[in-house]
Amino acid sequence: MRIANLSAGAAVLLTLAGPIAGHAATLSRAAFGQTPSGEAVEAFTLTNGHGVSATVITYGATLQSLVAPGRDGTKADIVLGFSDAGAYARNASYFGATVGRVANRIGKGRFTLDDKSYQLALNNNGVAALHGGVKGFDKVVWKVLDAKSDAAGASVTLGYVSPDGDQGYPGTLTATATYALDEKNQLTVTYGATTDKPTIVNMSNHALFNLAGEGSADGAMGNVLTLLADGYTPVDAELIPTGEIKPVAGTPFDFRKPTAVGDRIRDARDPQMVIGRGYDHNYVLNGKSGALRLAARLSDPKSGRTLDVLSDQPGIQFYAGNFIDGTMVGKSGKIYRQGDGIALEPQHFPDAPNKPAFASIRLNPGERYSNRMVFKLSIAK
């Protein structure tokens, strides 16, 4: 069907139940409301034969839902989000959104490219540019380029053209976002971009996960996390990396062994925990950048739901929902509070244009930017 236009821990994992005989992945398309300006928003739901489904909306190329069964077969939606386009537009949450042109923070909103200085909007407490600006990729309606399903899986590809000067960035950037769900219970998200003049790009996905189910009474702090990273990048008082890379060993940032997210989140002995109000830091992933490898594992001990995050990027931002303040009502009618979701955002390091020691996020004409991440679902015994 086509619509036009481990080394992460000792847990024993089970594959989800086999696909229904003769069942092929399905794709459905439905209206999802409209923006305040009247633009129509659509939702695409990808479903495989194991009972896993992902819903992607054209507003912000956003992962609106990811449903997975637990150990007893009970299904739960494991990403935070809202039930219609209007709610996404009203709430500056970034829940599930594609963030760009540049995810994360750029200090003072300034960078220099080929001896020319650029000033971006300071949309993060007046001290930094955050997630692409006042109207980043998360706040626009993307065009449907392709949608299809067959025996191997289902996918949807969305596109957006960001004009030269958009949010202060140089160059016309043509971006794509592809979500593909296969019969191995892998949701692969692939971002791509090209430009007509030198610019900077660092796209990512800002899904907030709770493997116990979004809106669950106990929140996400009981989720158990493993991060395959020996180092992280400390931040200053404005949450901008200092340029250092510090070892996680002996600190609350060490998740090399499976650890409940909430175990050390209130440990004020480490100044970095105080600055971030908990975890809001970039980790330096082990292994070779550019190669897809296991970056993180998140699991819910009660249900057994387990999520592996594979990435080809040098870093991953770990954010424990510290700034969710109880003012937003999610899609299941529950109030979202601090610690209700966990973001694991594969990307280049924050403020890379201003830190010569960090890998460059420059993109030139004739080159293609790419960021590939895989969210793989399984069940622990």
Q: What is the pLDDT of residues 117-129, one digit of tens each?
A: 999 999 999 999 9
pTM of the predicted structure, to 2 decimals: 0.94
Taking a C-beta distance cutoff of 8 angstroms, is the pair 220, 303 a contact?
no
- Measured between its terminal Cα atoms, the distance across the chain in Å is 36
Catalytic-role residue among 42, 131, 183, 206: 206
Task: Determine the Cα–Cα distance for residues 134 and 114; give it in Å rounded to an integer.
Answer: 25
Which pair of tokens denotes residue 118?
A: 């650029």
Give the ranges where the chain is alpha helix by DSSP (H): 85-90, 271-275
Which pLDDT score is estimated for 23? 61
Q: Say which DSSP state 202 is in.
A: B
- Indicate the SS3 state at residue 273: helix
Which pLDDT score is estimated for 10? 36
Residue type at 221 in one-letter notation: M
Domains delineated in the chain: 2-380 (2.70.98.10)
Whether 206 is a known active-site residue: answer: yes
Task: Determine the Cα–Cα distance for residues 99 and 105; give it in Å rounded to an integer.
Answer: 11
Q: What does each C-alpha distance from 222 to 22, 79, 258, 261, 324 come to in angstroms?
A: 38, 15, 11, 6, 17
Q: Which residues of the chain have pLDDT under 50?
A: 1-22
Taking a C-beta distance cutoff of 8 angstroms, is the pair 70, 216 a contact?
no
Q: How far is CA 103 from the centre of its chain?
A: 10
Task: Determine the Cα–Cα distance for residues 177 and 143; give it in Å rounded to an integer.
Answer: 10
**3-class SS string, 333-347:** CCEECCCCCEEEEEE
Taking a C-beta distance cutoff of 8 angstroms, is the pair 282, 233 a contact?
yes
Catalytic-role residue among 42, 183, 214, 345: 345
Phi, psi of 242 (to 5 degrees): -75, -15
Which pair of tokens denotes residue 341?
A: 């979701």
- Indicate the SS3 state at residue 206: coil
Taking a C-beta distance cutoff of 8 angstroms, is the pair 223, 212 a contact?
yes
Residues 173-209: pLDDT tens digits?
999 999 999 999 999 999 999 999 999 999 999 999 9
Which pLDDT score is estimated for 313? 98
Task: Determine the Cα–Cα distance for residues 128 and 6; give it in Å rounded to an integer.
Answer: 37
Q: Rg for the chain (alpha carbons), in Å?
A: 20
Nearest alpha carbon to residue 179 among 57, 263, 269: 57
Which pLDDT score is estimated for 92? 86
Task: Determine the Cα–Cα distance for residues 229 and 312; give it in Å rounded to an integer.
Answer: 14
Taking a C-beta distance cutoff of 8 angstroms, is the pair 108, 96 a contact?
no
Which pair of tokens denotes residue 343?
A: 């973001």
